[in-house]
């Protein structure tokens, strides 16, 4: 299944919290679960949000990998489907 994960860093994080967030991100990228694939990642031009297209077996998996970031980010996870068959006229 595909999921669009949108994260926004919470306002007012301390320097220590930013350090914790960075450490979590490094740990995640160093050991992405084998059943999870990141199909793409983007950041808003103003860097207010980041977006990830994640392939995972189910919503629970995405929620589990996102859970450690919850103290530092506001997150939205939306299951999505690829669109096929559309053409320009």
Full DSSP string of 33-63? -TT-EEEEEEE-TTSS-EEEEEE-S-HHHHH
Q: CA–CA separation, 12 vs 64, rounded Å?
A: 25
Each residue's pLDDT, cut to its tens digit, for the chain (89 residues) gives 999 999 999 999 899 999 999 999 999 999 999 999 999 999 999 888 999 999 999 999 999 999 999 999 999 999 999 888 877 66
Triad 74, 77, 79: Cα angle to 5°? 170
d(CA 40, CA 4): 10
Length of the chain: 89
> What CATH fold (topology level) applies to the domain 2-80?
Alpha-Beta Plaits (3.30.70)
Residue spans of the domains in the chain: they are 2-80
């Amino acid at each position: 299944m595909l999921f669009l994960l949108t994260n926004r860093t919470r306002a007012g994080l301390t320097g220590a919290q930013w350090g914790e967030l960075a450490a979590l991100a490094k740990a995640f990228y160093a050991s992405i679960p084998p059943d999870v694939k990141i199909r793409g990642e983007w950041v808003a031009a103003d860097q207010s949000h980041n977006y990830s297209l994640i392939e995972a077996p189910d919503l629970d998996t995405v929620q589990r990998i996102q859970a450690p970031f919850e103290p530092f980010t506001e997150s939205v996870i939306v299951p999505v489907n690829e669109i096929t068959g559309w053409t320009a006229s």
